[in-house]
């Protein structure tokens, strides 16, 4: 069963529709959304969840990948069709902490991020605000927009409200884990506690296929089966992951419009 994150002040709770923090005697500490050193963080018992979770597009891993990531030769760039003269509009319908979306925006794509877990959407919103205020990342962050909501249920509505006509929809649904690998990454435990496994992945794929004009890209563990539904037309494999491509039409026609 998933747990509910709480906020540590009234304003945060009201903005993101979260319960305000309460600590009844004897009750285990929940996951709490709070500000630490100017950043919004999601924190719980360090022994269970590890370090507090936040979104930082300016420094750390994002900065390293921005500078040394390999440009459009990266597997995700190839999967989403960012080729010579082609930069499609993209919806990342399972945004998570925004890492994939930020890579795509770094490469020039306009990306609408959709995230259904309110606490994670709050972290994304905070990370975006700080990235827009930084000289090195402001231009990239300007290509990113956030739409909190459930893509599996409301994808078409969220896309319409976001004012985009996505040529590509990117999906990275949570893959059901094996018990022996459940503790590999404490960061992933936070996501599983909040959202559970993406049992609605087939419905999300169906919605994505209806919305994307050119292709749907699904990130999977390399040896995992495709999502139930129509078979992918192509697959691109990396060392640990794979991108299944569901193609409506070629993206090459976008080059002539550039």
Among 111, 93, 15, 97, smallest CA distance to 55 is for 97
Cβ atoms within 10 Å of 240's Cβ, excluding its own: 8
Give pLDDT, residue 257: 52
Q: In Å, how far are 4, 28, 227 from 25, measured between CA atoms?
A: 18, 9, 44
181 and 224 in contact (C-beta within 8 Å)?
A: no
- Residue 212 structure tokens: 């994307």
- Spatial distance between the Cα atoms of 87 and 107, rounded to a whole number of angstroms: 8
Question: pLDDT at residue 24 above 70?
Answer: no
- Spatial distance between the Cα atoms of 97 and 201, rounded to a whole number of angstroms: 19
pTM: 0.90
Band of pLDDT at residue 47, cut at 50, 70 and 90: confident
Question: pLDDT at residue 121 above 80?
Answer: yes
To 5 degrees, how large is the angle CA 184–CA 97–CA 154? 115
- 70 vs 218: which has the higher pLDDT: 218
- Range from 16-20, 57-61, 67-71, 105-109 carrying the lowest mean pLDDT: 67-71
Question: pLDDT at residue 181 above 50?
Answer: no
Band of pLDDT at residue 179, cut at 50, 70 and 90: very low
Cβ atoms within 10 Å of 241's Cβ, excluding its own: 17
Give pLDDT, residue 184: 45
Stretch 72-84: mean pLDDT:
90
Q: Which domains are delineated in the chain?
A: 54-257 (3.40.50.150)
Question: pLDDT at residue 136 above 90?
Answer: yes
Band of pLDDT at residue 196, cut at 50, 70 and 90: low
Give pLDDT, residue 185: 65
Stretch 56-76: mean pLDDT:
84
Q: Residue by residue, what is the 3-state secondary structure of the chain?
A: CCCCCEECCHHHHHHHCCCECCCCCCCCCCCEEEEECCEEEEECCHHHHCCCECCCCCCHHHHHHHHHCCHHHCHHHHHCCCCCCCCCCEEECCCCCCHHHHHHHHCCCCEEEEECCHHHHHHHHHHHHHHHCCCCCHHHHCCEEEEECCHHHHHHHHHHHCCCCCCEEEECCCCCCCHHHCCCCHHHHHHHHHHCCCCCHHHHHHHHHHHCCCEEEEEEECCCCCCCCCCCCEEEECCCEEEEEEECCCHHHHHHHC
């Amino acid at each position: 069963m998933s747990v509910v994150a709480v906020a540590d002040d009234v304003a945060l709770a009201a903005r993101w529709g979260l319960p305000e923090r309460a600590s009844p005697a004897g009750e285990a500490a929940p996951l709490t959304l709070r500000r630490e050193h100017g950043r919004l963080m999601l924190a719980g018992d360090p022994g269970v969840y590890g370090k507090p979770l936040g979104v930082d597009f300016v420094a750390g891993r994002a900065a390293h990948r921005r500078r040394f990531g390999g440009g459009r030769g990266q597997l995700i760039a190839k999967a989403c069709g960012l080729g010579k003269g082609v930069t499609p509009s993209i919806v990342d319908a399972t945004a998570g902490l925004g890492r994939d979306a930020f890579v795509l925006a770094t490469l020039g794509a306009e990306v609408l991020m959709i995230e259904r877990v309110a606490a994670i959407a709050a972290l994304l919103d905070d990370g975006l605000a700080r990235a827009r205020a930084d000289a090195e990342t402001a231009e990239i962050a300007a290509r990113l927009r956030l739409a909190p909501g459930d893509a599996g249920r409301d994808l078409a509505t969220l896309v319409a409200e976001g004012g985009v006509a996505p040529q590509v929809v990117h999906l990275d649904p949570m893959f059901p884990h094996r018990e022996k690998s459940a503790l590999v990454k404490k960061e992933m435990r936070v996501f599983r506690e909040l959202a559970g496994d993406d049992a609605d992945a087939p419905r999300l794929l169906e919605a994505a296929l209806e919305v994307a004009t050119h292709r749907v890209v699904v990130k999977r563990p390399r040896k995992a089966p495709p999502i139930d539904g129509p078979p992918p037309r192509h697959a691109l494999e990396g060392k640990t992951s794979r991108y299944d491509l569901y193609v409506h039409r070629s993206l090459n026609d976008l080059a002539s419009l550039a």
